[in-house]
Structure 1
Amino acid sequence: MKQIYVNCSNGADCESILSALYDLYDNKIEFLNEINNFKIGDIRISFNDRKINNNVFKCINKDKIDNVNKEKKSNDSSNEEDFSLDSLYAYEVGYDDYLKERATINNNVTNENNEKSDSEIMDFPLDGLYAYEVGYDDYLKERNKYQKKEQDVKHEQNNDFPVDSLCAFEIGYDDYLKEIIKNHEKEHEHNSILLNEINNIIDKTNLDFNIKEDIKNIFSILTLAMAKVQGIDVSEVHFHKDKIFYDITYVCGVAYLINKLNVKKVISSFISVSNMSNNADSSYYIANEILKGIPVHVKENTKNLTPLAAAIIKYYSDEFIKDLSIVYNNIGYGVGESEDILVEVFIGDYNNQLIPEDKVISLLVDLSDMNTNEIDFVFERLLQSGVLDVYTIPIHKKNGYSSLMEVILNPEDEESIVKEIFKYTKAFDIRRKEYDRYVLDKKVENIYTKYGMVRFNIAKGFGVNKVEPEIEDLKEIAKRENITLDEIDFK
């Protein structure tokens, strides 16, 4: 079984974790085809090498991500920064000064980007602030004539208040600004999505069900922390569309690669977090909220995990270790959005190291003065409570023979099982042992045979491959075919 060790002592973001895992994965073309076929917000990702201190790290190629969206954003940005679109500026500086400033801006625009002549730019219907001089009513009349002439139906229907900015002339600039703020809030809601919408996006991918659930759980961890820090309900947490589409794509990539790498256990380094500073932003508090219950080092001038990286590490990590000895087969190196965010991922195989993979608890109970029927009832109750195994061992005591019951269970079930044993037995004490346990990689598969569908237990690891039919299915076959268990032959 494979394990990975994630060294995020130099901080981590989603990009650096994904890049390090990508560096480990052999079939890189398959991964890129799969992840880019999701078309989440038309995001496309690729990777390249970045040299830092003479070492090569994988990083997401920002120059080739979502070129269509980048062009759209660039156009939007240029429009927002264009002086002429901030027409209400004229109301404060004066119309004549406004025209001079706009003329200066227009002179700087190349013919390639703006083929209109100065006379076209100064056309009455496009120059709404002309109303400041001619009067708002006369302006509206002229504009209506122009709209009918140009059949500008779209503009006529979309006569929302902020679009008709000259309304400020009638209601006053302060009231106009209040309306603008309200509209910006509405626009913010339009440009954001909620957790349930993120889950819908994830459901539409062709990922396996268990991978989708991993991704949803990661965003659920993030959303809960954001709600706590912002003091709002989870249902009110908004994610900005421009950023969340990238984040969803990155987390899908992380979950996909962990599954494809056949990782059974994730071990993380202790997390380093900086002490609170006066300029800490909301992401600092959200990440700290996520990291509750995880071992951390509080240091000066250290690079924190981003909230999404913290959610990934918290969800996948089975253990946090300060110092780890590991025999690894490969290392993945990833750099984040900032060059000082570096993540290493070591991958190794348990089977090659002969490291016990988990722990179990053994409870020993003396069943003196209990008859067979009472012991059978205890067995039944314990098995229903989820113990891994229970059996009796005959023992010879000074007063005669008795039975010693051994119960094998997972550590997290210990408290409840101890209560069950005291409740259903006559024991006054329970002895306890803790064992390390080697475990084969086990799964159950339904296989069609000449007897019909039969469940088989398949176990691999440590150089062996075991296939055994489920005993309950064998019993059913024996009853149905009127044969013994030994006579069942799947050949």
Structure 2
Amino acid sequence: MKILYYDCFCGISGDMNLAALIDLGVSKEYLMEELSKVNLNSEYEMKIERSVKLGITGTRVDVKLNESSHSEEEHGHDHQHHHRKLKDIEKIINSSHLSDKVKNISLGMFMKIAEAEAKIHGKSLYEVHFHEVGAIDSIVDLVGAAICIDYLKVDRIIASPVQVGGGFVKCSHGIMPVPAPATTEILKNIPISTGIVQFETTTPTGAAILAVNVEEFTSKIDFLIKKTGYGIGHRDLEIPNVLRVYLGKQERSEKVEEQYILETNIDDMNPELYEYVQERLFEVGALDVFKTPIYMKKGRPGIKLSVLTDEKGEKDILDVIFEETTSIGVRKHKVEKIMLNRDFSKVKTEYGDITVKKSYYEGKLVKYKPEYEECKAIAKEKNISIDKVYKAVYRQDLN
């Protein structure tokens, strides 16, 4: 498995991200060619060069604007205040000749910032003006990030906890505490550290890159490091102002995820309600729900309700349990879930094409099964037993 890991010991900004990924191996020529598809070339110039920061050699990126701009310092370069709205950004990206994948990644990052700005300023999503998002160099940073991520073709993106810095930062709205309100909003539910320097080390643009693309935030590195890249920041600090990225390989083919089991013992609820509770739990994102008959104190029969979830889904799961059941307390256990790699493909049978889920262990196909709902629909339509549909799939050679 190919891994991209962000080591954010001095935070992350849009230009540092571009620099680090170029240093890691993204072709400069490819990046420039793809960015030209956004049709903003006349408004900026990009300078890419080797640079050194406190003895660390890496790549530095400067986006220079070709027209007058208002000055707003963010990692050492000026930001232009085109007061664009989200619809303007969507039009620029959707009308470009970028691939659909790059468009979707780009729009996801812009939407993340837009949601934060709208909440902070108390306006609707499409009403708020975006100084940060609307600036030409921010467009280059975010679309460029999507291009680089697509170019690297990694299987998984991981990051360390994010250093956000400290002190205060000057922006269009005045003096703001670090992390800036937009950065704080974007980094919700993401582990951060603060105060390593009295400077804004993570910008809203950098925060959005991580929030949208990173699957897991952990200091644990359980992969082989194959290559390292350094994105050099613009300001001189007491520590190396760089973003370090790793390209790694995970030897094991199975995917390991940290998840949680939330469970509660219930002995005073109408059993008819469990089906409804289970449906609600799956609706809000539960990964699995199961019920175990138990005997509680004084010999009372009860049910242990267990729910498997990830960190993001925990709050919604708790809402359902406390609102829809008689539970007044929940136990929480961290677990590791080991999953085989899997993919889906269509198999031709005498009853039509049927989707099959294949599972692989150490690169070898070890098991497969047809999708139940499709088999059920075919059995009803053709008035045959569902067993015949299953057997028609298993007769095929899927190796």
TM-score, structure 1 normalization? 0.57
Aligned CA-pair RMSD: 4.6
Deviation at 1:301, TM superposition (A): 4.2
Q: C-alpha displacement at 1:420, in angstroms? A: 6.6
Q: 2:337 corresponds to which letter in structure 1? A: R
Aligned pairs (5 A) from 1:45-444: 47-52=48-53, 55-60=56-61, 70=66, 192-207=83-98, 209=100, 211-223=102-114, 235=127, 237=129, 239=131, 244-259=135-150, 260-276=152-168, 280-282=170-172, 285=176, 288-292=180-184, 293=188, 295-302=192-199, 304-317=201-214, 323-327=219-223, 328-338=225-235, 341-349=241-249, 352=252, 356-363=256-263, 365=265, 374=271, 378-379=274-275, 381-386=277-282, 387-391=286-290, 407-410=306-309, 412=314, 413-419=316-322, 422-423=325-326, 433-442=333-342, 444=344
Closer/same/farther in 2, CA of residues 380 and 453 from structure 1, 3 Å limit: farther
Query: Could you tell me whether the CA contact under 8 Å between 1:291 and 1:314 is conserved in 2?
Result: no
Please identify runs of 4+ aligned residues in structure 1 that moved more than 6 A.
Answer: 227-234, 366-370, 394-403, 427-431
Find the aligned partners of 1:300 and 1:210 in 2 and give their Cα distance.
36
What are the superposed Cα offsets for residues 309-341 of structure 1, whole Å, 9 maximum, x if unpaired? 2333344455555x5444333322112455764
Q: What does residue 19 of structure 2 align with?
A: 19
Where does structure 2 lack aligned partners over 5 or more consecutive residues? Answer: 70-79
> What do the CA deviations read for 1:401-451 (whole angstroms, capped 9, x no partner)?
97865533315143134337735xxx8987664422123455555666654
CA contact (8 A) 1:394 1:403 kept: yes
Q: In 2, distance between residues paired with 1:397 and 1:197?
A: 60
Shift in alpha-carbon separation, 1:415–1:238, aligned structure 2, 3 A: closer
Distance across 2 between alignment mates of 1:55 and 1:303: 21
Indicate if the aligned counterparts of 1:2 and 1:262 stay in contact, CA closer than 8 A. yes
CA gap 1:398/1:408 in 2 versus in 1, 3 angstroms: closer
- Quick check: which has more Rg, 1 or 2? 1
1:181 corresponds to which residue? none
Runs of at least 5 residues in structure 1 that lack an aligned partner in the other structure: 78-187
The DSSP-based 3-state class of the residue aligned with 1:37 is: helix
Letter of the structure 1 residue corresponding to residue 146 of structure 2 = A
Structure 1 residues 225, 362: closer, same or farther in 2, change over 3 A?
closer
Contact 2:351 2:389 in 1 (8 A): no
CA deviation map 1:112-131 (0-9, x unaligned):
xxxxxxxxxxxxxxxxxxxx
8 A contact 2:37–2:97 mirrored in 1: no
Partners of 1:470 and 1:389 in 2: CA distance: 18
Tell me the residue number matched to 1:168. none
Query: What code does the residue aligned with 1:422 have?
Result: T
Report the counterpart of residue 391 of structure 2 in structure 1. 487
Q: Is the 8 A contact 2:290 2:306 kept in 1?
A: yes
Indicate the residue corresponding to 1:127 in structure 2.
none
Structure 1 distance, partners of 2:269, 2:130, is 64
Look up the match of 1:165: none
Provide the rounded CA distance (Å) in 2 between the counterparts of 1:350 and 1:319. Answer: 15
Q: 1:470: Cα distance to partner?
A: 0.9
Counterparts of 1:300 and 1:25, CA distance in 2: 29
Partners of 2:159 and 2:308 lie apart in 1 by: 23
Report the counterpart of residue 124 of structure 1 in structure 2: none
- The separation in 2 between residues aligned to 1:475 and 1:354, in whole angstroms, is 30
**TM-superposed deviation, 1:200:** 0.8
Deviation at 1:382, TM superposition (A): 0.5
Alignment-derived partner of residue 372 in structure 2: 471
Q: Distance in 1 between matches of 2:155 and 2:361?
A: 14
Query: Could you tell me how far 1:222 is from its partner in structure 2?
Result: 3.8
The corresponding residue for 2:76 is: none
Secondary structure at the counterpart of residue 12 of structure 2 = coil
- How far apart, CA to CA, are the structure 1 residues paired with 2:118 and 2:295? 62
AA aligned opposite 1:212:
K
1:158 alignment partner in structure 2: none
- Residues 395 and 12 (structure 1 numbering): CA distance in 2 closer, same or farther, change over 3 Å? closer
Share of identical aligned residues, percent? 20
Q: Distance in 1 between matches of 2:117 and 2:295?
A: 62
Q: What is the DSSP-based 3-state SS (H/G/I as helix, E as strand, rest coil) of the residue aligned with 1:56?
A: strand
Instruction: Give the counterpart letter for 2:60 in structure 1.
Output: C
After TM superposition, the score normalised by the length of structure 2 is 0.68
How many angstroms does 1:349 deviate by? 4.6
Number of aligned residues: 360
Q: Return closer, same or farther for 1:429/1:487 CA change in 2, 3 Å cut-off.
A: same
User: How far, CA to CA, are the matches of 1:369 and 1:8 in structure 2?
Assistant: 48
Cα distance in structure 2, aligned partners of 1:233 and 1:390:
36
CA contact (8 A) 1:11 1:302 kept: no
Q: Which amino acid aligns with 1:38?
A: V
Secondary structure of the 2:195 match is: strand
Amino acid at match of 1:13: S
Distance 1:206 1:421 in 2: 49
Q: Structure 2 CA distance, aligned partners of 1:315 and 1:249?
A: 17
Aligned AA for 1:275?
G
Which amino acid is 1:388 matched to? L
Q: CA deviation at 1:57?
A: 0.9
Q: Tell me if structure 1 keeps the 8 A contact 2:38–2:98.
A: no
Residue-by-residue CA offset, 1:82-131 (whole Å, 9 max, x unaligned): xxxxxxxxxxxxxxxxxxxxxxxxxxxxxxxxxxxxxxxxxxxxxxxxxx
